[in-house]
Every structure is written in structure tokens, then in C-alpha cells.
């Protein structure tokens, strides 16, 4: 959708792109300053495969401060973005025919990484009525002797849902009965969180050794292009991920790593202006959504996406275009309203579309005005 939006823009159309998960902020000044200093200080050479020791130590401090998790530097691997962190784990753990359990909706790359590893995806469906979250019973029913990985994100891309401490406790009790199953907890949106608390599933002692905590700097610090992700993992798994990374990209970018140290040292208050802005945009988008017939949404408590159910529109015709599914709707909105969204199929829910509100308030207001006009 982003590529199609760019093509329409190149043709002279005014396209508002709400299909991408990229904050429209610049990184904080103290991060930019640290990067400039790293250049001046001569950090231009290959880095250790698992990352600078100083950065890994800072990740350990961050995990303890923000997540009450105790990791040693030997349990940390710095990678070229959270996406590389994830594929390292998949390649380390998966053999052809193994099963990966994925709650839907999910980030599109989970499914495709499983395909790359020749694994079988076991999807646990959820609904708008359950806030797109699974139950312990549905989890238990999905686990078999071939289950190797369970992967989820909280806050979730695309639904914005956040699992509470109580919900994670109940899930951890199920996981503890199946020690062969590794949990990948994708916490990249951790700080873009409109609740007062946040819980990492690795906090529960019964699943600490089963859990890999994945995070990075792309979202909360608006450092998407800097490509820094990291994991906290059992030491044996961290060592395997380091070996895999050593034969693919080796160590992550030196300047970005030095800047990441300054980001992780910063207090939450230094990025709160971005979080507050996202929350304001979320509230505005929810109000806009409520005025569009056929759109039904949960109240996302994190990330910067809204994932409305649009199935009431299926079978209807607008401007001569019949809408049969969410992909049809997304394409119609792009071609006729010049607003780029993403159909829900690749996220595991055909009834929904994903709309990013990581854009300016002005763009969002104009985008939803166009959507209302084209669906009136």
C-alpha cells in the first residue's frame, strides 16, 4: 500500500499515507547529539557481533528499571532492528514442521518468518469483543507436541491491545506446563502505552527461562531508520542468536549503538511529549471513527494504530466499486479518497483494516473527512 501511495503521489495526487508504522517525530536532541559525538570520537569500525558491552549493560539496566527483569550482558544481543532480533530467534529455534502459535491479529512478519523457517503457523483467532486478546483456554487448545514458539506483541500491532498483569499471569500458568514452548514477547511499543502500568511476561518466575523479551528504539524514540533492536534471553539462546548474526550482518551500526546508549539512559519523561501526542491523536481518531457508518473499533490502549472491524460494509457498492473484503475497502479508499490504509488479511483478520495515526493531526482530520465522504 505504501508503494501504491508513492506511485499515486508521483502522479500528482495528494495522498495521505496512514499505512505505515513510523512516528512523524524526529529523534530527541540528546540522541542526535550522542550520534554526532560518536562520529567525532571516531567510532567508525566493526562492532562486536552482540553489540558494544556498554550498550548491553545499559539494556540490562533498562530491563531492571522498566520491567523488573534481571539479565546479564551475556543474555543480551543487539541487532539491526527488532525484525532481525526476531528472525535470529526463529532461525535458532525452528526446524521444518515445527509449530509456531500466533494470536491473531498479528504483525505481518511473524507469519512470514515462520514460512521462511518452514514452520506451521497455528493461529488463535480473537474478536473485537475480546479486545483482540486470547484466553488461557484458547492457548491450551492450540498447544501440541510440535509447538516450539508462541509469539505475541503487547501493545499489539495492529490492534493496540495491551495484556494486563492478571491476563499474563493466567497465560504464564499455561506456558509453565509446557516447558518446551518458548515465548517471544515483542515489546517494541512498550512505552507507547496509555495505561498507568506495564507488565512483561518474563516477570513471572515460572516462565522467565522460557521467555525472550524483544525490544528496540524505533517506536518510542522515533529512531526507525537507526535500526537498533535487542533481546533479553536465556544465555544459551542468546549465544545461538549471536552465532547466527555473526554469519549474516555481524554487529549493528556503530554510531546508532552509541546513540542508543544515550536513549536507554534517558528517563521516560524525556519522551512523554510523544506519548501524550499519540494519545491525543488516538482520542481524536476514535471520535472520527464513531462518525463513520460501518466502522466498529475497540479502544486501543497502546501503539499508534486503530484496527476497526469494517465487515458491515462488505457487499456494498460505493462509486461503482463493490466492497467484498477489507482489501477491497483499502484499495477503494486509496484510489478514490487518496488515503492509504492496510487491509486486515495480512494481519490475520479479514474483517478489519489497519489505520496508523502516527501522522499529524491535520493529516488525520483531512483523511477521515475524505473517508466519510467516500463512504457516505
Domain assignments of the chain as residue spans, ordered by start: 2-26+271-375, 29-265
Tens-digit pLDDT string for the chain (376 aa) = 888 888 999 999 999 999 988 999 999 999 999 999 999 999 999 999 999 999 999 999 999 999 999 999 999 999 999 999 999 999 999 999 999 999 999 999 999 999 999 999 999 999 999 999 999 999 999 999 999 999 999 999 999 999 999 999 999 999 999 999 999 999 999 999 999 899 999 999 999 999 999 999 999 999 999 999 999 999 999 999 999 999 999 999 999 999 999 999 998 889 999 999 999 999 999 999 999 999 999 999 999 999 999 999 999 999 999 999 999 999 999 999 999 999 999 999 999 999 999 999 999 999 999 999 999 8
The pTM score is 0.96
pLDDT attached to residue 196:
87
pLDDT attached to residue 3:
87
Show the CA angle centred on residue 222, arms to residues 59 and 11, nearest 5°: 145
Question: 2-26+271-375 architecture in CATH?
Answer: Alpha-Beta Complex (3.90)
Using CA atoms, how far residue 29 sits from 33, 34, 36, in Å, is 6, 9, 11
Could you tell me which CATH class the domain 29-265 is placed in? alpha beta
Classify 211 as helix, strand or coil. strand
Helix (H) or strand (E) holding 281: helix 272-290
Q: What does the alpha-carbon distance between residue 131 and residue 126 come to, in Å, rounded to a whole number?
A: 8
Q: Contact at 8 Å (CB) between 211 and 64? A: no
Q: What does the alpha-carbon distance between residue 145 and residue 90 come to, in Å, rounded to a whole number?
A: 18
Q: Contact at 8 Å (CB) between 149 and 110? A: no
CA atoms within 13 A on the CB side of 125: 9
Amino acid at each position: 500500500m505504501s508503494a501504491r501511495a508513492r506511485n499515486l503521489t508521483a502522479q500528482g495526487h495528494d495522498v495521505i499515507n496512514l499505512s505505515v508504522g513510523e512516528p512523524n517525530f524526529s529523534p530527541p536532541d540528546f540522541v542526535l547529539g550522542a550520534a554526532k559525538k560518536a562520529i567525532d570520537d571516531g567510532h567508525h569500525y566493526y562492532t562486536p557481533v552482540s553489540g558494544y558491552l556498554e550498550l548491553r549493560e545499559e539494556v540490562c539496566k533498562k530491563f531492571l528499571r522498566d520491567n523488573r527483569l534481571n539479565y546479564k550482558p551475556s543474555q543480551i544481543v543487539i541487532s539491526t532492528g527488532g525484525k532481525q532480533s526476531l528472525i535470529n530467534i526463529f532461525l535458532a529455534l525452528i526446524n521444518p514442521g515445527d509449530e509456531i502459535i500466533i494470536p491473531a491479529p498479528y504483525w505481518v512478519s511473524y507469519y512470514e518468518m515462520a514460512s521462511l523457517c518452514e514452520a506451521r503457523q497455528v493461529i488463535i483467532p480473537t474478536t473485537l469483543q475480546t479486545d483482540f486478546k486470547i484466553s488461557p483456554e484458547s492457548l491450551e487448545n492450540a498447544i501440541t507436541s510440535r509447538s516450539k514458539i508462541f509469539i505475541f506483541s503487547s501493545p499489539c500491532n495492529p490492534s493496540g491491545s495491551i495484556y494486563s498483569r492478571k491476563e499474563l499471569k493466567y497465560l504464564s500458568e499455561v506456558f509453565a506446563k509446557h516447558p518446551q514452548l518458548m515465548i517471544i514477547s515483542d515489546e517494541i511499543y512498550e512505552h507507547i502505552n496509555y495505561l498507568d502500568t506495564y507488565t512483561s511476561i518474563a516477570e513471572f518466575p515460572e516462565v522467565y527461562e522460557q521467555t525472550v523479551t524483544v525490544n528496540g528504539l524505533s517506536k518510542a524514540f522515533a529512531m526507525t531508520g537507526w535500526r537498533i533492536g535487542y533481546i533479553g534471553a536465556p544465555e544459551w539462546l542468546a549465544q545461538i542468536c549471536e552465532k547466527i548474526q555473526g554469519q549474516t550482518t555481524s554487529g549493528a551500526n556503530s554510531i546508532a549503538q552509541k546513540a542508543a546508549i544515550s536513549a536507554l539512559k534517558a528517563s521516560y519523561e524525556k519522551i512523554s511529549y510523544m506519548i501524550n501526542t499519540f494519545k491525543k491523536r488516538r482520542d481524536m481518531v476514535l471520535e472520527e471513527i464513531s462518525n463513520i457508518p460501518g466502522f466498529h473499533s475497540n479502544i486501543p490502549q497502546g501503539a499508534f494504530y486503530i484496527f476497526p472491524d469494517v465487515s458491515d460494509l462488505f457487499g456494498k457498492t460505493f462509486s461503482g466499486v463493490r466492497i467484498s473484503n477489507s482489501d477491497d475497502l483499502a484499495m477503494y479508499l486509496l484510489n478514490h479518497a487518496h488515503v492509504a490504509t492496510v487491509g486486515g488479511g495480512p494481519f490475520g483478520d479479514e474483517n478489519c483494516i489497519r489505520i496508523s495515526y502516527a501522522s499529524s493531526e491535520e493529516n488525520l482530520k483531512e483523511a477521515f473527512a475524505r473517508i466519510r465522504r467516500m463512504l457516505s
